[in-house]
C-alpha cells in the first residue's frame, strides 16, 4: 500500500471523527472575547510604547509568534489541500478546519490591537514579511502530514494556553484558552486518525512518525527574529524541549499510539521505532537539563533584581495564576467547549 492508499482507507474514520468534532465543538465569536473598551482615547496615530503594556518580554514574544503563526494559514491550507486532496471528506474537513483557524488570528489580533500589547506597526510589518515568505513545513507524504499535524496542533494548544496564563489579564487568558480549545479539538481528530492508520499499516506509520518527531519544528520558522523569540519562549517555559517531551512525545507518541508495543513491523520499521524511542529519551534528557539550567540563571537574575531598587515589576511566578490544565481528552467528554 502507498501513503495515498492508506489515506483513502482512512476516509470512513475521518467521516466519523469529523462528526464527533462537529458535535463537540461549539460556535464562538471572536468579537465577544475582545475588551473593546480598552481602546480608550488612543487613535491610530498614537505612537506605541511598551510602557503601555508592561510584561515579561518572553510573553510578548510568545504573543507575537503565536499570532504570526496563525497568520500563515493560507500556506497551511495549501499544504493540506495538496496532501489530502480537495474532494470527498478530506476536502470538506480541510475547508472547515480553515474556517475555524481563521478565527484565531482575528481574535488574537483584535485583542492585541485594543490592549496595545504589541506595536501594531511592527506587528503588521512582521505579518507582511511572514506571509510574503510563506515558509511552512512540507511533509514528504500524506501520512507524514497526518503525524505532523497531530503533533503540531497539540504544540499550538500548549503554547496558546501557556501564553494566556502568563498575560496577567483575564480577557487575554480567555482569548488564548478559547483558541487553545480549538487547537485541542484539531489535535484529537488528527491523533485519532493516526491511531487508526497504525492499525492498518503500522510499519508505514511508525516510519512517518519517526521522521516527523526527528524533524519537528514549530511552524513559526520564517518569522522575523524567530530564533531569539523562540529562545525567550523556551526560557520562560512556555514551550521548550521539556514541555515537548512531557506533554507531547510521552503522552501521545509513546502512550496513546503505543509505539513500543506495536507488533508485526517490517525490519525497516523496527529500526525506525528504535531510533524514535531513543530520540524521545534524548529529547527528555536535553529538556530537563536545559530547564534546570535556565531555572538556575533565572533565580540568579531574580536575586539580583530583588536587591536592586527598581524591582517594581511583577516576576513571572507572581503573575502566573495557577490555572488547572484540562486533560487533552476532557473536551470530548465534557458538555461545554
Ligand atoms: Fe490556530
Ligand atoms: Fe488548529
pLDDT of residue 127: 96
Residue 66 Cα to ligand 1 midpoint, Å, equals 9
**Percent of the chain at pLDDT above 70?**
91
Average pLDDT score over residue span 260-288: 95
**Amino acid 326: pLDDT:** 66
Q: So what's the pLDDT on residue 304?
A: 80
- Structure confidence by residue, pLDDT tens digits, 87-101: 899 999 999 999 999
| CA–centroid distance, residue 152 to ligand 2 (Å) | 8
User: Which three three-digit cell numbers place residue 67?
Assistant: 499570532
Question: What pLDDT is stored for residue 322 in this prediction?
Answer: 40
Q: How many domains does the chain have?
A: 1
Residue 49, in any domain of the structure: no
Evaluate the CA torsion angle 69, 73, 77, 78 in order and state its sign: negative
Whether residue 271 is contained in a domain is answered as: no
- The answer to whether residue 77 sits within a structural domain is yes
Q: How far is the CA of 331 from the centre of ligand 1 (A)?
A: 17
Domain for residue 198, yes or no?
Answer: yes
Establish if 91 belongs to a structural domain.
Answer: yes
User: Which three three-digit cell numbers place residue 329?
Assistant: 481528552
What is the signed CA dihedral for 328, 258, 278, 288, rounded to 10 degrees?
30
Average pLDDT, integer, range 225-247? 91
Q: How far apart are CA 81 and CA 98, in angstroms?
A: 10
Phi then psi dihedrals of residue 35, to 5 deg: -80, 75
Does residue 163 belong to any structural domain of this protein?
A: yes
The bound ligand whose nearest atom lies closest to the alpha carbon of 182 is: 2
pLDDT digits (tens, 9 = 90+) for 134-183: 888 889 999 999 999 999 999 999 999 999 999 999 999 999 999 999 99
Residue of 191 and 43 predicted with greater confidence: 191
Let me know if residue 321 belongs to a domain: no
CATH number at residue 235: 1.10.620.20
- Assess if residue 261 is contained within a domain: no
- Ligand at minimal distance from the CA of 102 is 1
What is the Å distance from ligand 2's center to 130 Cα?
18
| The predicted structure's pLDDT at residue 51 | 87
Q: From the CA of 154, which ligand is nearest?
A: 2
Cell numbers representing residue 59 in the block: 510573553
Cell numbers for 186: 484539531
SS3 28: coil
pLDDT at 316: 42
Say which DSSP state 160 is in. Answer: H
Are 177 and 240 in contact by the 8 Å Cβ rule? The answer is: no
pLDDT of amino acid 298: 75
Provide the residue range defining the domain that includes 233: 3-36+56-239
Amino acid at each position: 500500500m502507498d501513503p495515498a492508499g492508506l489515506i483513502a482507507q482512512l476516509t470512513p474514520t475521518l467521516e466519523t471523527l469529523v462528526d464527533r468534532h462537529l458535535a463537540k465543538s461549539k460556535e464562538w465569536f471572536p468579537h465577544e472575547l475582545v475588551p473593546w473598551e480598552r481602546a480608550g482615547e488612543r487613535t491610530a496615530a498614537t505612537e506605541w510604547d511598551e510602557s503601555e503594556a508592561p510584561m515579561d518580554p518572553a510573553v510578548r514574544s510568545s504573543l507575537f509568534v503565536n499570532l504570526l503563526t496563525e497568520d500563515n494559514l493560507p500556506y497551511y491550507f495549501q499544504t493540506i489541500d495538496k496532501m489530502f486532496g480537495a474532494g470527498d471528506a478530506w476536502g470538506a474537513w480541510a475547508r472547515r478546519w480553515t474556517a475555524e483557524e481563521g478565527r484565531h488570528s482575528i481574535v488574537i489580533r483584535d485583542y492585541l490591537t485594543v490592549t496595545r500589547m504589541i506595536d501594531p506597526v511592527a506587528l503588521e510589518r512582521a505579518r507582511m514579511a511572514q506571509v510574503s515568505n510563506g515558509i511552512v513545513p512540507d511533509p514528504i507524504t500524506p501520512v507524514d502530514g497526518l503525524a505532523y499535524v497531530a503533533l503540531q496542533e497539540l504544540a499550538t494548544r500548549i503554547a496558546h494556553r501557556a501564553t494566556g496564563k502568563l498575560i496577567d489579564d483575564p480577557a487575554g487568558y480567555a482569548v488564548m484558552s478559547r483558541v487553545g480549545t480549538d487547537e485541542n479539538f484539531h489535535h484529537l481528530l488528527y491523533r485519532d486518525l493516526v491511531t487508526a492508520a497504525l492499525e492498518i499499516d503500522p510499519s508505514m506509520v511508525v516510519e512517518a512518525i519517526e521522521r516527523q518527531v526527528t524533524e519537528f519544528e514549530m511552524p513559526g520558522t520564517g518569522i522575523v527574529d524567530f530564533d531569539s523569540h523562540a529562545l525567550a519562549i523556551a526560557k520562560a517555559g512556555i514551550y521548550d524541549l521539556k514541555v515537548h517531551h512531557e506533554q507531547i512525545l510521552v503522552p501521545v507518541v509513546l502512550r496513546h499510539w503505543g509505539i513500543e508495543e506495536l507488533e508485526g513491523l517490517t525490519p525497516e520499521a523496527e529500526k525506525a521505532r528504535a531510533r524514535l524511542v531513543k530520540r524521545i529519551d534524548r529529547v527528555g534528557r536535553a529538556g530537563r537539563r536545559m530547564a534546570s539550567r535556565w531555572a538556575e540563571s533565572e533565580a540568579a537574575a531574580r536575586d539580583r533584581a530583588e536587591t536592586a531598587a527598581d524591582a517594581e515589576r511583577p516576576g513571572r511566578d507572581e503573575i502566573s495564576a495557577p490555572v488547572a490544565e484540562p486533560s487533552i481528552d476532557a473536551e470530548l467528554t465534557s458538555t461545554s467547549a
